[in-house]
């Protein structure tokens, strides 16, 4: 039979070990820590405070919270959110498509992902052509968008535009968070990626923008 002093020593040792284990595992009272991370961003939320500014005959959406904050030939300064990415995809794709002769270098420098095969090919092609005034019948009307892939550094956005003949065009775009802003990543021509598709209608699950106009 152990002596009382021995039992007390073993009891103290066991209590000390239990306390240490609880401290390590966080299983004691008040030791639980939440493993829930931040909520995922809502890809279907429309940008807030949208108004419209006309550029080259096209009404483009501008958000008071998601950008663009700076607008001249190029439109820059977007929020680091899905909504900012979508607005950048719309603005950059329209501005590169309709860039005038006197401002396309500025638009390319501020809107496109630099040193990418797509941007280099676009600039080489643009040097060789002269942009004429857009036919009013061919002016796109921004109807909405759908974010098909999202991460804080990259977003794939399908932009839906409608035309005077009631046709609907879906344009697949990619933007990346580059140097503190969203920029348009043009596809490498060598990949022969088809980025535009005629669709019967704007999908029901698209984020609609035309209703806010």
Helices and strands counted in the chain (H then E)? 4, 10
Domain residue limits, the chain? 50-212
Residue-wise pLDDT tens digits, 79-126: 999 999 999 999 999 999 999 999 999 999 999 999 999 999 999 999
Give percent above pLDDT 90 in the chain: 75
State how far the Cα of 175 lies from the Cα of 155, in Å rounded to an integer: 5
The CA distances from residue 142 to 100, 133, 145, 146, 158, in Å, are 20, 19, 9, 12, 12
pLDDT for the residue 26 = 43
pTM strictly above 0.85: no
Mean pLDDT per 10-residue segment, the chain (213 residues): 40 39 40 64 97 96 98 98 99 97 97 98 94 80 98 99 96 98 98 97 95 56
Strand, coil or helix: 146: strand
pLDDT for the residue 212 = 56
104 and 170 in contact (C-beta within 8 Å)? no
211 and 146 in contact (C-beta within 8 Å)? no
| Phi, psi of 66, deg, nearest 5 | -110, -5
């Amino acid at each position: 039979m152990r002596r009382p002093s021995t039992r007390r020593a073993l009891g103290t040792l066991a209590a000390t070990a239990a306390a240490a284990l609880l401290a390590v595992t966080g299983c004691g009272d008040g030791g639980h820590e939440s493993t829930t991370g931040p909520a995922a961003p809502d890809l279907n939320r429309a940008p807030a405070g949208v108004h419209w500014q006309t550029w080259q005959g096209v009404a483009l959406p501008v958000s008071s919270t998601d950008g663009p904050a700076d607008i001249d030939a190029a439109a820059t300064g977007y929020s680091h959110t899905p909504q900012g990415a979508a607005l950048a995809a719309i603005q950059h794709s329209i501005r590169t498509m309709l860039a005038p002769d006197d401002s396309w270098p500025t638009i390319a420098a501020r809107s496109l992902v630099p040193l990418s095969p797509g941007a280099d090919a676009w600039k080489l092609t643009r040097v060789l052509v002269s942009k004429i005034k857009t036919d009013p019948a061919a002016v796109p009307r921004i109807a909405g968008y759908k974010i098909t892939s999202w991460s804080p550094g990259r977003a794939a956005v399908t932009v839906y535009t409608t035309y005077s003949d009631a046709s609907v065009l879906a344009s697949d775009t990619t933007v990346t968070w580059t140097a503190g802003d969203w920029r348009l990543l043009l596809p490498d021509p060598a990949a022969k990626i088809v980025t535009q598709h005629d669709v019967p209608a704007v999908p029901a699950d698209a984020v609609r923008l035309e209703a806010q106009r």
